[in-house]
Amino acid sequence: MPGKIKVKVLAGRNLPVMDRASDTTDAFVEIKFGGVTHKTDVCRKSLNPHWNNTEWYRFEVDESELQDEPLQLRLMDHDTYSANDAIGKVVISLAPLLAREANNPKSTTAPHGGAVLSGWIPVFDTMHGIRGELNVIVKVELFSDFNKYKTSSCGVQFFHCPMIPPGYRANSIHGFVEELVVNDDPEYQWIDKIRTPRASNEARQVAFIKLSNQVQRLVGLKAAELGANAVVGYQQDFDLEGEAGVVARAVGTAVSITPIPTPSYPNNIPPCTQQSERDRDRCDKDKGSPRHARHESYGGRDPPNPPAPAPALQNPSLNATSTPMGIHRRSSDSDLSVTPKGGSLNTSAGNVGSGGGAILRPSMNSNNLDMLEYPFLTMTEFPPGFIVHIGGTVCARSVKLAEGGGEGAWAELRTELRAHARALRCNAVIAYSDSAAICEDVCVLSASGTAAVINLDCDYNVECEQTPAQSGPKGGAEADACSAAHVPYAPGSGPYRAELSLCAQCRRARVPSVLLATCAKPSTMPTHGKAVTLTAVAARVRRAPPTAEPGARDISDQLPFLEYELHKLLLAKLRMQGANALFSLCTRVAVGERCVVALASGAAYRLRALPPPAPPALKASESDRDATEIQRALRDAFNANKAANGYDVGCSAGVSDMSGGGALAEAEGEEPPALDLCADKDACVLELDEAEDVETAKSLCVRRGHMRVYSRPPPARAPPLAFAQVWRARLTLSGQGGAASQAAERHVARALDGVTYKLRRLNPCALAIPKFQLELPEDEIQLVVSGTAIPLPEPGAAPRDQRDDDIFALDEEQLLRNGPAHDDDRNLVGQIPTTVSLTTLSDVSGSRAVRRICAIRLLFVRETTTVREMGGLSGFLHTFTCEVLAIARAHTAALGGNALTSFYLTQLMLQDNAHKNQGQCLLSVGGDVVQITY
């Protein structure tokens, strides 16, 4: 499918002074794509140049090159008697435009925000940051081509959203797709020794963008081969392995989706279609038969996708037809005894993907999940009834030497993860994610998820009408609401000894005493009180050199003990909050030259189905007086935390009569128990046999404020605020384990205190699940906390205007501020916001998504020789982060959106040289561009 690119540069503004004699700039732009370069005329002696008389610059290339290569616009200053000076660059990835253009092949004029990018884009220089703006228009046109051997994935949409995007209906879930690409790092090439710092940084930035586009194209190809037209829960990471190269990894869930028509757009549905909607809904019930599904699988075709209409306001779950979801596998896998090298979880095999290449596969029932090689889903939020039982969190880690690639190591980890899920009697792994920690030439690979029993035949049109955080379902639906907490294995048949009790709601099935899951809390699972954030840190000092096989062997020996210490501390903190479940669990492992640190974070809940928790018990000698005082202090802090979180409720009748495979939790009204003098090991028992354990017990007695976790329904018209907090300090290590853990814990607490201080103006507010990024550069610890704060409505308080907090003002904002009206239009129903909102959630609270445009990913390299003048390394990183957020907002507005949902900010690299006053950083940001109204 060949394509054509048309570019027009209209104007520039706020350019820096490059000619000191006249305090002006002779600006012109070089437009480069692939090996072709065009130049505009020179606009002399102006800091706000205009090129209105220029014509369109055209490029004709193949679609695979369109997906991989970025469009580069270099702003230059013309000099007559010397070399031209570089001002900065604008790098535009065309993948978002290609996805929209391929989905509208019959339209002669693409809608704004589809195949057109138009607006003011900041000019970024890797040495000086933002240096003005360029007003550009970029158009992409594709020609129809049905070649089934094509090498592009045009037509496959990508969403970072961890669920089926609101406003879409899922026709089929095809399963897990992954890709890994290895390339050389320009930083370690021989030519880098003779290049200027600016040229070296620009070469690295362009190389990373090409690598990102390439791995996305390959993932899209795999999704198209399965018959999918979208990838949701898309995750992309980079592993910098030094001289071994750069590894780009991507995982996602291939699905087939179609937009949901709404009454607000009646013209999108033909009259005959409107008349037959009632009959179509009536026949949806008949699609549940295997005969009907088989018929659709072989010959069914979905109608062409209509233009994306406005989705409904409340669509938190996976919307799809009521067609039962079976499984598809490759047609070449005729032997059922052999595990296929891929597979899909499909409803209908109609080719709704990007065109040729997809093979129709026969439909199977949901009992054949064991046939898939990787029954994984990267989505974290699911509709009611999809999750039948949650088995628990499964994790696999591996230590290897950096050799570039590592496909075999990742395959082993995923195979081990699947084996863990099957040991828990589960048929799938949901909320799957993987990560890598690299130090010198040693890599620690981690893969984790939640083992669960899933129901592929659930009704995806069901939406939860109430938030069970305060009240759960009543009547006959109460048993179904607690079924997700029931263990899928029988007592004594699990892979390890577990404390099981009768469910406090249905009193029929068994539930664990504590539930840990990497997925979000099911919407129908009833809870008490509110959810709060929770973090735990564990560290161990390395005993061998950090390089080669001795270092890898030492880390491999340390990891089991590190995970046990982290798990023990996490359970103790969870109990101290009065909670019995932890959802959205994320564990990060960082490897440094002197130590290994693991950080776990999540949202703590008090589930009604699980037994009430008790504070951690102490084990010490009878003559230890300090132990009795610590036990009393633990009890007081436990009761105070329960009251603050809303968990101070009475036990259900008959809870004390439950019998299970382990000890039952005590009633909340009883007196503190005596010291436990037994010799049995328990993760919730603290042994006061060392000074470090005493310090851990004392730290649990100290009450710390925990931010409330955001839950639906959202507060009315509350715009979100994305934040990023960076903390970097020296990590003092003394002792083997406990002292290092205490030092790391203090730094994490200080970073969270910085987040609380930064959000002080939004009080009261709630946090979306924050994301942590942990690094150990040399003898320091570096923690990046990013997330979204949602202001909660305060009775009698006037609405705040947060627009002054934005560092980058769009044209619409300036016109609004200069105009006579100063009302906040975000508080007016039906109005379009004039600012670009950033949120890590899949939607903006209090808004209605008109359409989802595309997904964007941006990468930037920044270097400076004035670290001390910018306020140190943290000041340099904060300045760079603000510049990156400004560029992300500009790209979102140029694509036709006013919100960037599922927003992420990943720091790939941060280096400094204190003696030379130098600093270098590499950041990656992205999300889903959405157009919203209030």
pLDDT of residue 218: 93
Q: Strand pairing of 527-541 and 510-512?
A: unpaired
Please, which pLDDT band fits residue 689 given cuts at 50, 70 and 90? low
pLDDT at 675 over 60: no
Q: Are 614 and 575 in contact (CB under 8 A)?
A: yes
Q: pLDDT tens-digit profile of 718-728?
A: 678 888 888 88
Query: Please, what sign has the CA dihedral across residues 527, 533, 534, 539?
Result: positive
Q: What rounded mean pLDDT belongs to the chain?
A: 76
Residue 23 DSSP label: T
pLDDT at 667 over 60: no
Q: What angle do CA 288, 290, 295 make, to 5 degrees?
A: 100
Q: State percent of the chain over pLDDT 70.
A: 71
By three-state DSSP, how is residue 234 classified? strand
For residues 102-113, average pLDDT = 45
pLDDT at 306 over 50: no
Phi and psi torsions of 852, nearest 5°: -100, 120
Q: How far apart are CA 444 and CA 397, in angstroms?
A: 7
- Length of the chain in terms of residues written: 934
Q: Are 247 and 185 in contact (CB under 8 A)?
A: no
pLDDT of residue 23: 87
What is the secondary structure of 885-922 as a DSSP string?
Answer: HHHHHHHHHHTT-SEEEEEEEEEEEEEEETTTTEEEEE
For residues 767-780, average pLDDT = 86
Residue 888 falls in which region: left (phi positive, over 0), alpha (psi -120 to 50) or beta: alpha
Query: Please, what sign has the CA dihedral across residues 644, 472, 456, 305?
Result: negative
Q: How far apart are CA 873 and CA 882, in angstroms?
A: 14
Q: How far apart are CA 564 and CA 897, in angstroms?
A: 46
What totals of helices (H) and strands (E) does the chain contain, helices first?
Answer: 14, 32
Residue 23 falls in which region: left (phi positive, over 0), alpha (psi -120 to 50) or beta: left
Q: pLDDT tens-digit profile of 564-579?
A: 999 989 998 998 888 9
Q: How far apart are CA 237 and CA 158, in angstroms?
A: 15
Query: Please, what sign has the CA dihedral across residues 186, 191, 197, 199?
Result: negative
Phi and psi torsions of 416, nearest 5°: -65, -40
pLDDT of residue 877: 86
Q: Are 598 and 783 in contact (CB under 8 A)?
A: no
Euclidean distance between the first and the last CA atom of the chain, given in angstroms as a whole number:
39
Q: Which of the given ranges, 300-304, 313-317, 684-688, 783-787, has the highest pLDDT on average?
A: 783-787
pLDDT of residue 144: 60
pLDDT of residue 354: 39
Which of 208-217, 254-263, 307-316 comes out lowest in average pLDDT?
Answer: 307-316
pLDDT at 813 over 60: no
Please, which pLDDT band fits residue 293 given cuts at 50, 70 and 90? very low
pLDDT of residue 367: 56
Count of CB atoms within 10 A of residue 176's CB? 27
To 10 degrees, the CA torsion angle through 360, 362, 365, 369? Answer: -70
Q: Which residue type, as a one-letter code, is found at position 873? A: L
Fold classification of 1-146 (topology level)? Immunoglobulin-like (2.60.40)
For residues 113-131, average pLDDT = 87
Count of CB atoms within 10 A of residue 286's CB? 11
Q: What angle do CA 625, 627, 629 make, to 5 degrees?
A: 75
pLDDT of residue 682: 52
Q: How far apart are CA 591 and CA 443, in angstroms?
A: 8
> Cis omega (within 30 of 0) on the bond before 491?
no
The DSSP H or E segment spanning 696 is helix 691-701
pLDDT of residue 82: 84
Q: How far apart, in Å, are the Cα atoms of 906 and each of 169, 246, 810, 828?
A: 30, 16, 25, 34
What is the side-by-side order of every strand in the sheet holding 918-933? 837-838, 899-913, 918-933, 848-864
The two three-digit tokens of residue 348, written as one number: 């209908």
Please, which pLDDT band fits residue 366 given cuts at 50, 70 and 90? low
> Cis omega (within 30 of 0) on the bond before 713?
yes
To 10 degrees, the CA torsion angle through 303, 305, 309, 314? Answer: 70
Phi and psi torsions of 826, nearest 5°: -75, -15
Q: pLDDT tens-digit profile of 231-247?
A: 999 999 998 887 878 89
Please, which pLDDT band fits residue 439 given cuts at 50, 70 and 90? confident
pLDDT of residue 665: 36
Query: Please, what sign has the CA dihedral across residues 415, 416, 418, 422?
Result: positive
Which of 99-103, 337-341, 440-444 comes out lowest in average pLDDT?
Answer: 337-341
pLDDT at 408 over 60: yes
Q: How far apart are CA 904 and CA 901, in angstroms?
A: 9
Q: Are 111 and 897 in contact (CB under 8 A)?
A: no
Q: How far apart are CA 453 and CA 547, in angstroms?
A: 42
Q: Are 697 and 638 in contact (CB under 8 A)?
A: no
Q: Strand pairing of 116-125 and 57-61?
A: unpaired
Looking at the DSSP assignment, which residues form a beta bridge with residue 708? 532
The two three-digit tokens of residue 771, written as one number: 């994301």
pLDDT at 184 over 50: yes
Q: Which of the given ranges, 193-197, 259-263, 709-713, 825-829, has the highest pLDDT on average?
A: 193-197
Q: pLDDT tens-digit profile of 62-91?
A: 877 888 899 999 999 998 888 889 999 999
pLDDT at 451 over 80: yes
Q: Are 764 and 563 in contact (CB under 8 A)?
A: no
Which of 23-27, 577-581, 872-876 comes out lowest in average pLDDT?
Answer: 872-876
For residues 354-358, average pLDDT = 38
Q: pLDDT tens-digit profile of 819-836?
A: 433 333 334 445 666 788
What is the secondary structure of 813-829 as a DSSP string?
Answer: HHHHHHSS----GGGST
Q: How far apart are CA 254 and CA 174, in angstroms?
A: 5
pLDDT of residue 504: 87
